[in-house]
């Protein structure tokens, strides 16, 4: 249930309350009971809608917090150099081998590893997780 539906349910409940105030003592008790049942249903719908909205807001707040922490981590620990991001050393400079750009988009910060399976002359750099191949050389950070 969305916010508009919840507000509609609250509006309907308020309209029923106004009608209840206007009921004269001479009216039938069955009509009064029917109005009270309608009011109870409208208030229940409104409550359920508001609970769902509160849950959605809590989930969005958690996602915002997670993304903020991720941005803060990237800002304090990663350095861009060329087409790659590297972990920063004590001096705040790029060092070592880069982080896999594919896995970084997923929130994983994995350094590329050397693949020496084809012999000493064919060493390439690959991601240990997604297996993306980044070629032979030129990716080591330059101070």
Chain CA centroid to CA 99, Å: 23
My answer on whether 65 and 113 are in the same domain is: no
My answer on whether 52 and 114 are in the same domain is: no
> Is 60 exceeded by the pLDDT of residue 26?
no
My answer on whether 113 and 55 are in the same domain is: no
> Is 90 exceeded by the pLDDT of residue 37?
no
My answer on whether 18 and 65 are in the same domain is: yes
My answer on whether 48 and 109 are in the same domain is: no
Whether residue 141 lies inside any domain: the answer is no
SS3 sequence of the chain:
CCHHHHHHHHHHHHHHHHHHHHCCCCCCHHHHHHHHHHHHHHHHHHHHHHHHHHHHHHHHHHHHHHHHHHHHHHHHHEEEECCEEEEECCCCCEECCCECHHHHCCCCCCECEEECCCCHHHCEEECCCCCCECCCCCCCCCC
My answer on whether 106 and 66 are in the same domain is: no
My answer on whether 9 and 69 are in the same domain is: yes
My answer on whether 24 and 63 are in the same domain is: yes
Query: According to the per-residue pLDDT averaged within each range, which of 54-63, 100-109, 117-126 is highest?
Result: 54-63
My answer on whether 29 and 93 are in the same domain is: no
Tally of structural domains, the chain: 2
Whether residue 102 lies inside any domain: the answer is yes
> Is 80 exceeded by the pLDDT of residue 112?
yes
CA distance 122 to 46: 66
Give residue-wise pLDDT tens across range 67-77: 999 899 888 99
At 137, the pLDDT band (50, 70, 90 cuts) reads low
My answer on whether 70 and 29 are in the same domain is: yes
Domain residues for the domain of 37 are: 3-75
């Amino acid at each position: 249930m969305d916010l508009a539906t919840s507000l509609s349910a609250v509006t309907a409940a308020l309209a029923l309350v106004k009608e209840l105030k206007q009921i004269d003592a001479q009216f039938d008790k069955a009509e009064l009971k029917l109005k009270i049942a309608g009011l109870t249903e409208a208030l229940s719908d409104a409550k359920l809608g508001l609970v769902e909205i509160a849950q959605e807001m809590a989930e969005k707040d958690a996602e915002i917090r997670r993304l903020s922490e991720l941005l803060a981590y990237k800002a304090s620990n990663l350095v861009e150099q060329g087409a790659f991001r590297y972990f920063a050393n004590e001096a705040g400079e790029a060092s070592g081998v880069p982080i896999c750009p594919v896995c970084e988009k997923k929130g994983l910060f994995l350094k590329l590893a050397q693949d020496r399976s084809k012999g000493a002359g064919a060493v390439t750099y690959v991601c240990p997780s997604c297996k993306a191949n980044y070629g032979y050389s030129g990716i080591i950070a330059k101070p």
